[in-house]
Amino acid sequence: MAFIIDSERCVGCGACAFFCLYKSISPVDDNMTKYAIDEKKCVECSQCSGICPNGAISAPQGWRRIKKVTIDQEKCIGCSLCMRTCAADAPFGEIKKKFEIDQSKCFQCGACAKKCKPGAITVEYYD
């Protein structure tokens, strides 16, 4: 699933593409008047929907907003997959040591949790 751009409401300003850290949004025409989201690249962070001045971007069915992402120090094996996945550079640490998440950088997309093979990353959702 990925966020959805309503082509009728999209005014082609490009703000969503500019702010997408995962480069999942691009123009669909040469004139750059309409944009689309690549489902394979979208991590459902919701940054684009918050920045869209026209409210043209909406969440997919069943999407839940993430409240907090944390790393369980007991399960972390220091593989660095979280750090390599995060476009915001929120996870930090040294390979083969325990990683942590800088909450001031994390924008709660959950991409790191999806890549974490030992399941050390916990995602807490809003009710």
Q: What is residue 33's predicted lDDT score, i.e. its pLDDT?
A: 84
Do 39 and 23 fall into the same domain? yes
Residue keyed to tokens 């996945």: 85
Same domain, 28 and 73: no
Collapse the DSSP code of 15 into the 3-class scheme (helix H, G, I; strand E, B; otherwise coil) and give the result.
Answer: helix
Instruction: Tell me: do 72 and 112 sit in the same domain.
Output: yes
Pairing of strands 66-71, 91-92: unpaired
Q: Do 46 and 81 share a structural domain?
A: no
Domain region containing 120: 66-125
* pTM score above 0.85: no
Domain boundary pick from 58, 76, 100:
58
Considering Cα of 16, then 20, then 24, then 26, what sign does the dihedral take? positive
Total count of domains within the chain: 2
Give the pLDDT confidence score for residue 11 in this predicted structure.
92
Q: What is the pLDDT along the chain (127 residues), one digit of tens a residue?
A: 799 999 999 999 999 999 999 999 999 988 888 899 999 999 999 999 999 999 999 999 999 999 999 999 999 999 999 999 999 999 999 999 999 999 999 999 999 999 999 999 999 999 8
- Asked whether residue 52 falls in the same domain as residue 77, the answer is no
Alpha helices for 6-121 (secondary structure H): 15-19, 47-51, 81-85, 111-115
What pLDDT score was predicted for residue 40? 94
Same domain, 121 and 70: yes
CATH number of the domain enclosing 89: 3.30.70.20
Quick one: 54 and 73 in the same domain?
A: no
